[in-house]
Structure 1
Amino acid sequence: MNSLVRKSAKLQHYEQQVDALKRGCFKDPFSFLGLHAISDTHSEIRCYMPGATNLSIKLAKQTLSCTRYPDSDLFILQLNNKDISAYQLVVDYSDCQVVCEDVYRFESSLDDNAMYLFNEGTLEHAYRHLGAHFIEFSAEEGVRFSVWAPNASSVSVIGEFNHWQRSQHFMRFHPASGVWDLFIPGLTQGQCYKFSITTLSGEVLEKADPFAFKMQQAPGTASVLQARPAAIELTDTMRAQRSKRNAVDAPISIYEVHLGSWQRGAEGRYLTYQELAQRLISYVTEHGFTHIQLMPISEYPFDGSWGYQPVGLFAPTSRFGGLDDFRYFVEQCHLANIGLLIDWVPGHFPSDPHGLHCFDGTHLFEHADARQGFHPDWNTYIYNYDRPEVRSFLVANAMYWLAEFAIDGLRVDAVASMLYLDYSRKEGQWIPNKYGGRENLGAIECLKQVNLRCYGNNPGIMMVAEESTAWPGVTRQVDHDGLGFGYKWNMGWMNDSLHYMQRDPLYRQHHHHELTFSMVYAYSENYILPLSHDEVVHGKGSLIEKMPGDDWQKFANLRAYYAFMWAHPGKKLLFMGSEIAQRNEWNHDQSIDWHLLEHLSHQGVQRTITLLNHVYRREEALHQLDTDPAGFCWIDNQNAQQSIFSFIRFAKKASNYVVVISNLTPAVYHDYCIGVPTAGEFEVILNTDDEQLFGSSVRVFAHTNKTITSSPIATHGQQHSIKISLPALATVYLKKVPDESIN
């Protein structure tokens, strides 16, 4: 009687397991599947193989056929313990036979210490542990899958290798970390996969791997097996070059690029990373830029998001080629001594069903409360920065681009939206922090950790904040209560100066302060002056079309504005197309209007940018003291009536300086007197009215094109002065000729 009861209980137990296997909801597969002792003398091998007609166990000396459990895909083989050795599965299907390993005979290869750090929020290289990794384990080559889904009732790996069946490769759950893992032998690169997640409510979700190194292109939504790229190693020379070109006293001129629309190939196809490495780097070098900044290249499903709604944060987009092709592009930048920055988006993520939203059926990566977890401007979700695992995810992603590809730095998008709990929210639509304030304490701490770890592990990089408010200490060090960025975009300068330049010159005299106010706070942060993609989209018009007047005046205004920008304290950033005065707004679906260079006016703007970059890099006074008040002095910031601005930029050696004068009216002023600090001869090193730049070629020095000698007449608070002809709508740079060079 007792044996019958035991047999009945066992069968009932199996029925429960079979039912869970059928439903694809099995939280502890290793407790049932694989090899298990059933007595002191016997063991069972249990395998669940949907679609199999027969299953055998191949032992060292024999192959034994399993018994199918009634009305199921569960196969069982009972063995005497002395017969057990290494084994393989021989699976018969209606059209083929497959010999494979039993995934449930492998122990976990997960690093418990790494998982502790992941749960703590400090795992800098989480991408080396989570996701899909090709490894050799127990003498077998295969892939270790691991995913964080602490609230799931079951997780399985689905893919091309198991016909997307969620009941074949159930994963092992680690309650301490909330991570699931499974080692599957015999897989190859290029196979697609996802995680099938059964939630506590029984809903089945199919999610892409948050740590995948490659993703399918839309309309595909799967992750793709890809070996982790070998880290790019910089030579000592390259490391020194990186530190030098990113320093606060260096000339930094950034060319912002959307790879999909800079240039297109035949019939509108994308250029490849290989082609871009040749064309784009050569173009940037030719025209004097020091850095390239790529709009987001982490894999994103929707072209219209420009990359700002990424789903695969660890996957360089395959729109332009494979991982090796991207590595080649990066390496060519290094060889050309061109800095490479990448737009990074830690402020929000999209609602795509295969993405991070409600990843395990709960608000895992985002806040559950929509007042903290949903972004009203972009209809996206906001990371829960208070959660340690989310911090590990974001810190690791930042580290991935820097450590594995040795890029120069990250431009962090939408920092203001991260810092403020009430960002773009009305009263009652946000939750104060624990102190009653509007500061997002979790986001602040996350940004600090990102910057600390990125700078600490990658000397010589630059971390850049797109931060549009007056938040104090964005570029102050973390140990001095700052956020720890290296640079911040000067959005105030951008807004004020563009407002000014769009005005008719007749009315500029009433808004003179819009070009002078930036110097009130110019040294509060380490600034970059940006004219980015945001200024030439969404009905704002192109930069050239913002300029007032007839066509000649538009181009003259733009050239003068660029020269004012290049002389103003702060590093420079210009969006592609602006250097050729593209007339149309930027369109991500097509190439820049390169045909405009057939016209002299557009050639003139391009030459202006080239000349500005070369002068800017050559003249230490224009960049060396960008963050030091000693590097700037107004000559005259009060001449509102004539809309003339004049100032001096000094190098560390005070005798090395450049005088800058901008006349932003269409009138020419002859015999215009300007104060200078020292006696001597002065030469013109840039004049945006030069005929080679499509200007009217007014001579700055009426008597000669070469030099002019100062007079000992005090003007504008300076002890000496010179008289010049000031061209209409033009900016002029003057430099004192070194005494030893005067004959």
Structure 2
Amino acid sequence: MRYERAELMTGMVQEGLQALAEGRHGDPFSMLGQHQYGDLTVVRTLLPGALSVSVIESDTGRVMAELEPIHDVGIFAGLVGGPAPYRLRIEWPDAVQETEDPYSFSPLLGELDLHLISQGTHYELGRTLGAIPMEIDGVSGVRFSVWAPNAQRVSVVGDFNAWDGRRNPMRLRPQAGIWELLIPRLTHGERYKFELLDSHGHLSPQRADPVARSSEAAPSTASIVASSRPFRWHDADWMERQAQDRSRDGAMSVYEVHLGSWVRISEEGNRSLDWVELSQRLIPYAQSLGFTHIEMLPIMEHPFGGSWGYQPLGLFAPTGRHGTPEDFAYFVDRCHQAGIGVILDWVPAHFPTDVWGLARFDGTALYEHSDPREGFHKDWNTLIYNLGRNEVKGFLIASALEWLEHFHVDALRVDAVASMLYRDYSRNEGEWVPNQYGGRENLESVEFFKHLNSIIHERCPHAFTVAEESTAWPGVTKKPEDGGLGFDFKWNMGWMHDTLHYVSDDPVYRKYEHGGMTFGMIYAYSERFMLPISHDEVVHGKGSMLGKMPGDRWQKLANLRAYYGFMWGHPGKKLLFMGCEIGQESEWDHDASVVWDLLDRPEHAGIQFLIRDLNRLYATEPALQFSDVHPEGFEWAVADDAENSVYGMLRSSQDRSSHMLVMSNMTPVPRYGYRVGVPEDGRWEVVLNTDAAIYGGSNFGQMDAWGQRSPQHDKPYSIALDLPPLSTVFLRWLR
């Protein structure tokens, strides 16, 4: 067939040129790049603002053609001698650029990648979609790709193309709804977004990359091309030990931190610490107090600091507020070298409605449900992920694995699990859609959690998961094959509410609320529990932990010390929010620092010393660890003395060679000669007394007691104790 030169130059169809010029063309590769027509070859390129364009043969450097402008928007075309690798020499008003043509490359993603993405089983999305520096056919650049199956056109925009959506429209891979483009000679550090002509033909606001691995610090919203260079880790021994200890039966004491307000530098505009500074200050601090883990409120990129990270939009990117992804990896590495695990709060329950985020990403409800009865949280003004869609499930699971595999994070604490499990969560009648059987259970979420936890435990033997589940959903920590959700631990919200209600009461009334401290043991082994005193308990008008305590100042401090002692003596892993360890008097403020000046006052330093010593005792006493999750290691020594508000817990090691008696007197009245039954005679040594002078107490009580053959509480022996007022005392049995 014979072609006229004008036909070749314009791509056979004039309408296609106009669509390119207007940014409406959904198949730019059909027009741009190098095309063969019989024995003739034409090159077309779209470069708004260019003065001239030459085609240079890659191998020889010779000029193959001087392209002619064929549209005043900046489309150039010209005939070249024949098909050959080439690059473009572009004359701009203030520079000359030489680069390969983005439209000279064949399809980029493989068929297997596309299949797995569609099936929701591609668990390396952070290294597949988004912006990936790579080399193709000897040309280095960045491969951009994004899931937007209903968009009519998608372009990548950034500083490299003046944020002009006409310049770099992408190729659609229709079998998976993925748009892709390699832009040569780019590298990591470039800012970018995606510009979409949505399903209705409307130009939407430019979107951040859903799987960006690096982002600008808020309030800026651009994604950043992250480096693909592997981080040099130094934690191989730590990772191996964690993989071998999958029972998690040992001591676990978690320091929960909001990084933005742990320490602020008032001399520098009240700024927060960066990752390197946190490595230098937070890690040694947590280590000195004996915490085994640091748990961080969500660090995934989020637009609104006032959400504390719980409304994230960048589920693959550490927030730019504290530095680069490499800096975050450095922080994790330093934690592991110091013997401290890292737990991240992770939010698959919902996402904010910001126009540059995920909401109606391609003009349709892509990530969210279209029906607001399923897809909108009125409580938080956020959207709900559609877990019935394979690609969305795969997106979330890949996010979880990004943190656990690529950043060596030790655990994810999954936020707002209850809101995902119930279709009627915080909804009135008529505001929710029943499941296929007419029930309120969200079956898609149930299957998601089972699959998520199964994949994590299969691929990440070093890692564990924790559920913040505030109801009595059965089997949260049972294995999926046994009908459970597969989490390793569950926050014990019931224990927290009951015990805080009790200690907030005036001691004179506590005998009427005695069961508040014992009720948790009725169900303590129905799940593997963590006892949380979290950020939620010291914000939104709830006051500080010290502020919850009744009585005068001495009683407030003693109450708090006694409560912490009871908590560390009670079965279950421990979690304490920052500031609580020093008895902060004011409620937590995310825009301010922890009030560290309080440590100049002995009574506050004393509470910090108490937390340190409780953690050390917990870490060294098998009796305080085994019965965290094994009921045969726990029994009440005293459970029914409501009149005196006294509690006694007997903790034992697996082989019964170690016993710890934990006695709490929750009134300001000393109890002299209080007799309690014990399983062994001999010496019972006081190893920690929350009323000790070093902690700010009155130093009341004895150093040890001797078991006598005087049966009490169904035990063959008993000891007589002088119990200090508002205190918890730990006694170790000595053979």
In structure 1, the residue matched to 2:284 is: 282
Q: CA deviation at 1:163?
A: 0.5
In structure 2, the residue matched to 1:200 is: 199
Asked whether 1:36 is paired with 2:35, we answer: yes
Deviation per CA, 1:307-331: give whole Å up to 9, x if none.
1111111111121122221111111
Q: Is the contact between residue 330 and residue 407 of structure 1 (CA under 8 Å) also seen in structure 2?
A: yes
Matches within 5 A, 1:391-406: 391-406=393-408
SS across alignment from 2:336: helix
Q: 1:470 aligns with which of 441, 450, 472?
A: 472
Q: CA deviation at 1:98?
A: 1.8
In structure 1, the residue matched to 2:115 is: 116
Supply the AA of the counterpart residue of 1:587: D
1: distance between equivalents of 2:650 and 2:429? 46
Q: Is the contact between residue 651 and residue 659 of structure 2 (CA under 8 Å) also seen in structure 1?
A: yes
Supply the AA of the counterpart residue of 2:50: A
Unaligned runs of at least 5 residues, structure 1: 739-743
1: distance between equivalents of 2:360 and 2:125? 21
SS across alignment from 1:696: coil
Deviation per CA, 1:263-296: give whole Å up to 9, x if none.
1233322212111112111111111111110111
Q: Is the contact between residue 681 and residue 707 of structure 2 (CA under 8 Å) also seen in structure 1?
A: yes
In structure 2, the residue matched to 1:383 is: 385
Distance 1:236 1:219, change over 3 A: closer
SS across alignment from 1:591: coil
In structure 1, the residue matched to 2:259 is: 259
1: distance between equivalents of 2:8 and 2:108? 34
Distance 1:524 1:544, change over 3 A: same
State the 4+ residue runs in structure 1 displaced beyond 4 angstroms.
2-13, 231-236, 243-246
Tell me the TM-score normalized by structure 1: 0.95
Q: 2:731 aligns with which of 724, 734, 740?
A: 734
Distance 1:683 1:695, change over 3 A: same
1: distance between equivalents of 2:338 and 2:73? 63
In structure 1, the residue matched to 2:51 is: 53
In structure 2, the residue matched to 1:569 is: 571
Distance 1:104 1:3, change over 3 A: closer
Deviation per CA, 1:705-740: give whole Å up to 9, x if none.
3x32111111111111111111110011111112xx
**Structure 1 stretch displaced more, 371-380 or 40-49:** 40-49
SS across alignment from 1:544: helix
Asked whether 1:598 is paired with 2:589, we answer: no
Matches within 5 A, 1:76-115: 76-81=77-82, 84-115=83-114
SS across alignment from 1:144: strand
In structure 2, the residue matched to 1:741 is: none
Distance 1:638 1:141, change over 3 A: same
Distance 1:229 1:432, change over 3 A: farther
Distance 1:478 1:234, change over 3 A: farther
Distance 1:687 1:5, change over 3 A: closer
Deviation per CA, 1:95-122: give whole Å up to 9, x if none.
3222221111111220210221111111
Supply the AA of the counterpart residue of 1:242: Q
Matches within 5 A, 1:546-585: 546-585=548-587
Matches within 5 A, 1:87-236: 87-205=86-204, 206-228=206-228, 230=230, 233=233
In structure 2, the residue matched to 1:644 is: 646
2: distance between equivalents of 1:94 and 1:230? 39
Asked whether 1:667 is paired with 2:669, we answer: yes
Supply the AA of the counterpart residue of 2:195: S
Q: Is the contact between residue 142 and residue 183 of structure 2 (CA under 8 Å) also seen in structure 1?
A: yes
SS across alignment from 2:688: strand
SS across alignment from 2:260: coil
Q: CA deviation at 1:126?
A: 1.5
**Structure 1 stretch displaced more, 713-722 or 148-157:** 713-722
In structure 2, the residue matched to 1:74 is: 75
1: distance between equivalents of 2:271 and 2:220? 19
Q: Is the contact between residue 232 and residue 405 of structure 1 (CA under 8 Å) also seen in structure 2?
A: no
Supply the AA of the counterpart residue of 1:221: T
Q: Is the contact between residue 367 and residue 383 of structure 1 (CA under 8 Å) also seen in structure 2?
A: yes
Matches within 5 A, 1:494-533: 494-533=496-535
Q: Is the contact between residue 229 and residue 323 of structure 1 (CA under 8 Å) also seen in structure 2?
A: no
**Structure 1 stretch displaced more, 196-205 or 417-426:** 196-205
Asked whether 1:19 is paired with 2:18, we answer: yes
Asked whether 1:241 is paired with 2:233, we answer: no
Q: CA deviation at 1:13?
A: 5.1
Q: CA deviation at 1:234?
A: 6.4
**Structure 1 stretch displaced more, 228-237 or 214-223:** 228-237
1: distance between equivalents of 2:245 and 2:590? 30
Deviation per CA, 1:34-79: give whole Å up to 9, x if none.
11122x2212111111112222222343352222215442211023
Q: Is the contact between residue 635 and residue 717 of structure 1 (CA under 8 Å) also seen in structure 2?
A: no
Distance 1:260 1:572, change over 3 A: same
Q: CA deviation at 1:305?
A: 0.9
In structure 2, the residue matched to 1:357 is: 359
Supply the AA of the counterpart residue of 1:345: V
1: distance between equivalents of 2:721 and 2:250? 31
1: distance between equivalents of 2:10 and 2:53? 20
In structure 2, the residue matched to 1:538 is: 540
Figure out how many residues of one structure are paired with residues of the other and give that number: 729
2: distance between equivalents of 1:5 and 1:80? 16
Alignment root-mean-square deviation, CA = 1.8
Deviation per CA, 1:159-195: give whole Å up to 9, x if none.
1000011111110001101001111100122211111
Supply the AA of the counterpart residue of 2:252: I
In structure 1, the residue matched to 2:417 is: 415
Supply the AA of the counterpart residue of 1:359: F
Distance 1:516 1:104, change over 3 A: same
In structure 1, the residue matched to 2:298 is: 296
2: distance between equivalents of 1:557 and 1:67? 84
Q: Is the contact between residue 88 and residue 99 of structure 2 (CA under 8 Å) also seen in structure 1?
A: yes
SS across alignment from 2:264: coil
Supply the AA of the counterpart residue of 2:370: A
Distance 1:243 1:680, change over 3 A: farther
SS across alignment from 1:250: coil
2: distance between equivalents of 1:674 and 1:592? 41
Q: Is the contact between residue 43 and residue 78 of structure 2 (CA under 8 Å) also seen in structure 1?
A: yes
SS across alignment from 1:314: strand
SS across alignment from 1:475: coil
Distance 1:316 1:7, change over 3 A: closer
Q: CA deviation at 1:243?
A: 4.2
Q: Is the contact between residue 577 and residue 593 of structure 1 (CA under 8 Å) also seen in structure 2?
A: yes
SS across alignment from 1:67: strand
SS across alignment from 2:472: coil
Q: CA deviation at 1:232?
A: 6.0
Q: CA deviation at 1:18?
A: 1.9
Q: Is the contact between residue 213 and residue 228 of structure 1 (CA under 8 Å) also seen in structure 2?
A: no
Q: CA deviation at 1:632?
A: 0.8
Tell me the percent identity: 47
Q: Is the contact between residue 248 and residue 627 of structure 1 (CA under 8 Å) also seen in structure 2?
A: no
1: distance between equivalents of 2:2 and 2:732? 103
Q: CA deviation at 1:655?
A: 3.4
Tell me the TM-score normalized by structure 2: 0.97
In structure 1, the residue matched to 2:659 is: 657
Distance 1:629 1:12, change over 3 A: closer
Supply the AA of the counterpart residue of 2:723: L
Q: Is the contact between residue 111 and residue 129 of structure 1 (CA under 8 Å) also seen in structure 2?
A: no
Q: Is the contact between residue 149 and residue 174 of structure 2 (CA under 8 Å) also seen in structure 1?
A: yes
SS across alignment from 2:150: coil
In structure 1, the residue matched to 2:63 is: 62
Matches within 5 A, 1:598-637: 598-637=600-639
2: distance between equivalents of 1:617 and 1:4? 82
In structure 1, the residue matched to 2:716 is: 719
Supply the AA of the counterpart residue of 1:414: A
